[in-house]
Structure 1
């Protein structure tokens, strides 16, 4: 990001006239767009689960074309909103630096350099017409309040921004305004898109983070823009642990994760893994393979090696097996080894589409840093063997190669 330049598509010299009718705010929903049209499959194979109507389904035989697929570079505009009840205390440059270039770097690493998220900043505060408290911003936002916020935000931005040039829209609220709730950051999906500058705006990332923000929060929210689900468990009574499904092992589970690299299954869905990089393990046949660390960058001029092994367990279920090491986006992990997790293609976002298998159920690790210590030591180490309960698949870790890969034997039931 060239932070000192006015981004392409943000033109202060040419103010376009704004009319109230330029935006068609017809219907809003925080969980809309569940099905959507299909496009080409992301190199699906015999162990790929079919995409279902579940919100952010992890079936990947087809791509939901209602979402931008990050197999090409994408442009994002970041807009900064102030309120009449709170003069801003922080310059937009400082807030932007909370998120970029870190978020772009996260996705460049996760995609093995195949995808770049290009941020464009409108480097000034845009004054909203109402006090921050008038919008009643909160995690479970009232639809009419959320609609008013989006309508006002897009109206004040329209004279400065050509929305047709951008794939992603980030609306960043002044973190010091009294009505801004830092727990309310989320992607708002639109049942019917907004229409502006001749383009449909199907979703908006609403950012209400404190300064400095939660670590990797924008990578998490941007993952939703790419049709990835929430992997945490939200207690129905507001009590209990949120991180029992995947712990630290994916940013879609927690932005605070020690090992936030996207699961290999997510990378497969997004189009960053495929072909020889994903190994389908046939039923009943022992398979020997070498798993490269998921987060490790490929050597210059060498294609990415095998990163994901999959055992199909049902029409909409599978076991995924991958290696995790302290490198790349996982450089702060406290344990290394071979990670096993269940994938359910029929499970909606937030209802457990991925569950990490704890191969050391009587112990935990990194109690001072982990978001859920019982799963921090979930991977299998060298010389260990584990049979997955209920599935019968046995995974044996023989040793590590000189380059740090794991030699593994997988025997499905």
Structure 2
């Protein structure tokens, strides 16, 4: 992440044996490794859906990577709280759990229009690791052997209390005040080969090293990775410069600090939260589209109307058009309008699979609140027209309806 501003009742010995054997492969751990998985057909994707590639967290959505849980139902998440011999926790597990829930569950409930429910199951007590916090070398770019040692100890420690077969998502939450804990190290660790524990495969674990209180929306971001969503920020190779040049405030996978952090409509399409009828596939010529603001709650019993218009620009790229307004997860936005962005299926997580196109490149907005002011005023307003650079695609915002929807003319 970028940094800017119940016991299961399973016999202890048998459970420790089950996890111990799995850890013989921990040298294969990689925090950002590609986890292969079976393709699951998505017949509702349509002709504008990009093909899923081998890129880590590819934004192709013609099929679903079966190695990841798809958040279209209720998923259960266990929170294991880890303490260390070199520090006695000064906060309770309940207080730390309250840093993240119910806020994270509410974020996803709003983003999914109530189609997905994330249920946390926080453990009631701290589980003490066998070594001091300073022994694990915890940091953002973690040495693989140190990370493997931490996870080996964490799973063995947790396995005494937790039946992993009961959960879809696993959070290991470290004592925020332990001397060796680095808040910059919070991330999802993927396993090249799953760990077998309690008869289930652990393919990834969210390792949380946040301060108390934590960064805003940090667990929503990390949980997004559990659902195969990519990092949308740009990490400078020298560690200097701005991280938010790709998407600015406009998606939590870009920045957990964003003013409008709701997930892009493309992400919601991928996750199954938008139906095919809510995505307009734009053909050649001119066409009119009525786009409902992305974060607006649909009426009871309704789908909420069209949320996304897509123009294919090649075998691996597309232009996406959606409306953003001040509601739901986007309630703190300082600008509203029609947002245009480019999607590509080949770039891996962190490589710019989505880039917001700035309809006002000579101006910026919200310099006191935005994570990247040049993109804070990227959306088109009523009466404005934008031609996509390098493409014969023009987007014109003709009107806004009394309900807040935008009438958009797209010419290709």
Do both share a fold (TM > 0.5)? yes
Query: Any residues of structure 2 matched to 1:159-308 within 5 Å, and which?
Result: 159-283=160-284, 285-308=285-308
Cα distance in 2 between the residues matched to 1:33 and 1:236: 21
- The answer to whether structure 1 residue 409 and structure 2 residue 405 are counterparts is no
What's the CA shift for 1:299?
1.0
How far residue 35 of structure 1 moved from its aligned partner, in angstroms, is 3.9
Partner of 1:5: none
Instruction: Give the 3-state SS of the residue equivalent to 2:153 in structure 1.
Output: helix
Normalising by the residue count of structure 2, what TM-score does the alignment of the two structures yield? Answer: 0.96
- Per mean C-alpha deviation after superposition, the further-off stretch among 151-160 and 351-360 is 151-160
1:230–1:349 contact (8 Å) kept in structure 2: yes
Distance 1:18 1:82, change over 3 A: farther
Report the CA distance between 1:14 and its aligned residue: 6.7
Q: Quick check: 2:291–2:408 contact (8 Å CA) kept in 1? A: yes
Moved over 4 A (4+): 12-15
Residue 377, structure 1, aligned to residue 373, structure 2 = no
2:15–2:197 contact (8 Å) kept in structure 1: no
Could you give the per-residue CA deviations for residues 217-251 of structure 1, whole angstroms, max 9, x where no partner exists? 00000000000000000000000000000000000
- 1:116 counterpart = 2:117: yes
- List per-residue Cα deviations over 1:38-75 (Å, max 9, x = no partner): 01216210100000000000000000000000111100
2:81 is paired with a residue whose SS is strand
Q: How many aligned positions are there? A: 402
Bigger drift between 112-121 and 295-304 goes to 295-304
Structure 2 CA distance for aligned equivalents of residues 304 and 42 of structure 1: 21
Report the CA distance shift for 1:81/1:42 in structure 2 as closer, same or farther (over 3 A): farther
CA distance in 2, matches of 1:361, 1:36: 40
Equivalent residue for 1:354? 354
1:29 corresponds to which residue? 30
2:143 is the alignment partner of 1:142: yes
For residue 21 of structure 1, report the CA deviation from its aligned partner.
3.3
Distance 1:137 1:18, change over 3 A: farther
Q: C-alpha deviations, 1:271-290, integer Å up to 9, x for none?
A: 0112210000002x101010
Tell me which residue corresponds to 2:331.
331
- Distance between the aligned counterparts of 1:80 and 1:305, measured in 2? 42
Asked if the contact 1:363–1:374 (Cα under 8 Å) also holds between the matched residues in 2, the reply is yes
Change (3 A) 1:331 1:86: same
Task: Give the aligned partner of residue 3 of structure 2.
Answer: none
Contact in 2 for aligned 1:42/1:269 (Cα 8 Å): no
Q: Secondary structure at the match of 2:29?
A: strand
Find the residue that maps to 1:396 and give its secondary structure. Answer: strand
| Structure 2 unpaired stretches of 5+ | 1-5
Is 1:11 the counterpart of 2:7? The answer is yes
Give the distance between the partners of 1:336 and 1:260, measured in 2 at CA. Answer: 13
1:247-270 Cα shifts (integer Å, max 9, x gaps)? 000000000010000000000000
5+ long unaligned stretches in structure 1: 1-9
In angstroms, what is the RMSD of aligned CA positions?
1.2
**Residue 29 of structure 1 aligns to a residue in which SS?**
coil
Deviation at 1:13, TM superposition (A): 6.9
1:28 and 1:21 map into 2 onto residues whose CA distance is 20
Aligned to 1:44: 45
Q: Is the 8 A contact 1:339 1:379 kept in 2?
A: yes
Aligned-partner Cα distance in 1 for 2:403–2:365: 26
Q: Secondary structure at the match of 2:263?
A: coil
Aligned to 2:104: 103
